[in-house]
Amino acid sequence: MNATLRTMGLFLLLIALFTVIGYVIGSVFLENWIIGALVFLALAAALNLISYFFSSKIVLWSYRAKIVTEAQAPRMHQIVKTICMKGDLPMPRIAMVPTKTPNAFATGRNKNNAVVAATEGLLTLLSDDELEGVLAHEMAHVKNRDILVMSVAATIAGAISFAARILWWNMILGGRRGNDNILLYLVVAITAPLAALLIQLAISRNREYKADREGALLIQRPLALARALEKLEEGNKRMPLRRGNPASSNMFIVNPFRGGGFVALFMTHPPMKKRIAKLRKLADETGFIG
């Protein structure tokens, strides 16, 4: 319950931030902050609806993922079927992503409309028990409706960044040079996208730890998932994803895009060493050693 309330609070902060951007843009362009705030509040509601109904299609399209039958991907289907039986979950659709970068993600608005996608590189890199650990992690996201939450968070955060960019360029190009509040507008244009990103990270990182734990307990093999995460971390460093939007990196089990130095502070996933340490501790606590 506490985690749910915390997530709802973070969403309200995102929507409030989006409304503040509308207030500033309304003041700059329309000289009417009420209209700007109301328009952007309505846009936030519209983006939530679009994310709810179409996020899975958008994500699959952006990564060229194709739905595959059991005949086309028997290994994936069999492992996911086993996980669904253990977790009393409906069978999701299975998709394959044509890239050698080893990774996986889940999408869909609920467990009855879910899609679990894996890259070609994932199936090549992992053993069956490691692959089961990764897919159990994704099914934990499905069970907890994390995929909807993270899709909506990414959509609103992206919209905030876009709106702030409009405000920034308006200031740079002199749209309101004489305005007494220009410094305030510039501060909002710079800090709003950063605040949106930090809120998105708070939502995403918390849910990754939870999916690791629940997925590992579902298959009773925490160490199999730990081994898989080690391989995926190294595999994505060597072969980062070349296609796609970094704003959707929170959808994947490990970050498929690379960034070092200052950028590393804003990764959508928890530090891999901490994730693996938690899984090893879980194995010690439960006696599950697989």
Residue 143 DSSP class: H
Residue 231 near residue 126 (C-beta atoms within 8 A): yes
Type and span of the H or E element at 115: strand 115-119
138 labelled catalytic: yes
Under a CB-based contact definition with an 8 Å cutoff, are residues 19 and 43 in contact? no
Q: In one letter, which amino acid is 42?
A: A
Choice among 70, 120, 130, 138 that is catalytic? 138
Residues near 109 by Cβ (< 8 Å), separated by ≥ 6? 52, 53, 55, 56, 147, 148
Q: Are 133 and 228 in contact (CB under 8 A)?
A: yes
Burial class (CB in 10 A: 0-12, 13-18, 19+), 88: exposed
Active site residues: 138
